[in-house]
Amino acid sequence: MSEKKTAGTEKTSGAKTSAAKTVKKSETKTAPKKAAKKSAPKKAMPKVEVVKKRRVMIAASECNPFVATGGLADVIGSLPKALAKSGNYEASVIMPLYYSISHDIRNKMEYVTNFYVQLSWRRLYCGVFRLIENGVTYYFLDNEYYFKRGGGIYGFYDDGERYAFFSKAVLETIGNLDLFPDVLHCNDWQTAACIIYLRTLYNWSVDFRKIRTVFTIHNIEYQGKFGTETLGDLFGFPTNIYSTVEFDGCINLMKGAIELADAVNTVSPTYAEEIKTPLFAHGLDGIIRRNEQKIYGILNGIDTESYNPETDKTLFANYSINDMSGKAVCKAELQKLLGLPVRADVPMVSIISRLVSHKGLDLVTAVIEQFLTEDVQVVILGKGDASYENYFSAISRHYQGKCSAVIAFNPDLSRKIYAGSDLFLMPSKAEPCGLSQMIAARYGTVSVVRETGGLNDSIKAFNGESGNGFTFRDYNAHDMLYVLREAVRAYHSDGWSELRRRAMASDFSWKVSAAEYEKLYAKITG
């Protein structure tokens, strides 16, 4: 369809050229041989160059504020807005129309079209809805069988089929609506098949062949692995790409996308290096090293308008880098709320995390009672493994007045804790990027982190003259405890105000990150 349009354009261009030649001949015949009088030369009008914006379409399984389960949604919610704001790109996002998307948001959408998607032997309905906000066009792909489900958006027995349909439908939407972007930016295994389909089943089209691709790995642990029998029956991949998508006896969608994408990036420079090693790559280190010439690391940002202590309405009091009096109010009110003694002189250390082992909580459980014998307060917020939930609940009861554990996912309380705490602890075993340490810094809460992934790229060790936090390298509970004690000593020192100010001044905005993505897009589009 697109090729016919191109051919039609070429014919029109030819007709225009012939017409132009005819005009020139007639002008030559009617022009007088000699001019009676020389007229003053006309000043040439300055040429106005119209710079055509490049198009980037971002395909993802979730996006704030529509539906979110983690950091991926934050990225997809912020990056396109930052790209649109820079003025260099027309940014769009394409995602499934989940049942959980609110009616308020649905009422703002407009119906665009519908068509059928051929997925192997299945012929499946796809409706397209559109919403334009903050300079970004959002496309929602509707299929009630796959996406009208309660109980979250992942974890269903047919997730492979659901996101294979979505990936194929992304390309059908591009073709049906003539949306051909310069860059198709796919994220994690749920959209990895987009790139595989693009470079195989859609490679016959000139318009599709022109599309450059970026594949972002937000967490390499989740790769989209399925039995080899799904190659044709489920995904409808051609048999000649079996070696491209097969890994360790499985169909591995992430592996296929890494092999076929024009560029691959992770969400921090350190993580881009870490996944070249067996310790972090969950088996794909050899594939990463083989493709390392196209592997990049770009640190995520945070939405600095949403996370802003000057305007955040969830806080007990607002404050700024130049007037921190409101932060003291936030601390005192948080202590009251959590049943802790209201003391300005005691350092409050917070943990806001999923309560799972790779967040470094085994280090915390190893030394927290030793730490609580000191003059400190500890606040824990999160949900996760029952063993951690029960442990921190018990510690909170045993150390009443020194420790408070809230076993919940509570966004409102999390902001109050970010604002009211003095120190923020994040000792992750692995952390592709991490946003919590950036949010803490934004609220003037100094982070203590392990030097891994994005934690290493965002928090630099305080040495008295520079640095915005505290760090430790080895995955060791007593190394963490030593650095925590250093941070407590700093809290009682004269340099604390300056350290806190330096943390708040850290630029974790998406403006910085979006500029790096623009460089990557430019590199692959030429």
Q: What is the pLDDT of residues 410-448, one digit of tens each?
A: 999 999 999 999 999 999 999 999 999 999 999 999 999
Q: Which one, of 402, 494, 500, lies nearest residue 446 by Cα?
A: 500
Q: What is the pLDDT of residues 79-101, one digit of tens each?
A: 999 999 998 999 999 999 999 99
Between strands 263-266 and 295-297, the pairing is: parallel
CA 415 to chain centre: 20
d(CA 313, CA 219): 32
The helix (H) or strand (E) run that includes residue 18 is helix 2-30
The stretch 244-264 carries a mean pLDDT of: 98
How many C-alpha atoms does 90 have within 13 Å on its Cβ side? 11
pLDDT bin (cut points 50, 70, 90) of residue 49 is low
Q: What is the pLDDT of residues 324-350, one digit of tens each?
A: 999 999 999 999 999 999 999 999 999
- With the CA atoms of 453, 441, 134 and 91 taken in that order, what torsion angle do they form, in degrees rounded to the nearest 10? -20
Which has the minimum average pLDDT: 44-48, 199-203, 323-327, 418-422? 44-48
122 DSSP β-pair partners:
119
The stretch 299-323 carries a mean pLDDT of: 96
Between strands 212-217 and 469-472, the pairing is: unpaired
> Can you read off the two tokens belonging to residue 1?
């369809």
Q: Which one, of 460, 466, 464, lies nearest residue 441 by Cα?
A: 460
The stretch 355-370 carries a mean pLDDT of: 96
All residues at 6 or more sequence positions from 504 whose CB lies less than 8 Å from its CB, including other chains? 321, 441, 442, 443, 444
Q: What is the pLDDT of residue 5?
A: 39
Q: What is the pLDDT of residue 42?
A: 57
Query: 371 — phi, psi (to 5°)?
Result: -70, -35
Q: How many CB atoms lie within 10 A of CB 492?
A: 11
pLDDT bin (cut points 50, 70, 90) of residue 517 is very high
Tell me the three state secondary structure of residue 383.
coil
- Percent of the chain that is helix, strand, coil (3-state, to 5): 45, 20, 35
Tell me the three state secondary structure of residue 110.
strand
Predicted model pTM: 0.86
Specify whether the backbone of 195 is left (phi greater than 0), alpha (psi in -120 to 50) or beta. Answer: alpha
- Helices (H), ranges, 276-398: 278-281, 285-290, 325-338, 361-372, 386-398
Contact 469, 441 (CB under 8 A): yes
Tell me the three state secondary structure of residue 424.
strand
> Can you read off the two tokens belonging to residue 164?
């294979």
Between strands 183-187 and 54-59, the pairing is: parallel
Contact 495, 425 (CB under 8 A): no
Provide the edge-to-edge strand list for the sheet that holds 423-426.
403-406, 377-381, 348-352, 423-426, 446-450, 469-472
Diameter of the chain measured on Cα atoms: 107
- Is pLDDT above 80 for 388? yes
Long-range contacts of 253-256 (CB under 8 A, 24+ apart): 253/189, 253/192, 253/193, 253/196, 253/223, 253/224, 253/225, 253/226, 254/188, 254/189, 254/192, 254/217, 254/220, 254/222, 254/223, 254/224, 254/284, 255/223, 255/284, 255/287, 256/192, 256/193, 256/195, 256/196
- Is pLDDT above 50 for 511? yes
Q: What is the pLDDT of residues 490-506, one digit of tens each?
A: 999 999 999 999 999 99
165 DSSP β-pair partners:
none
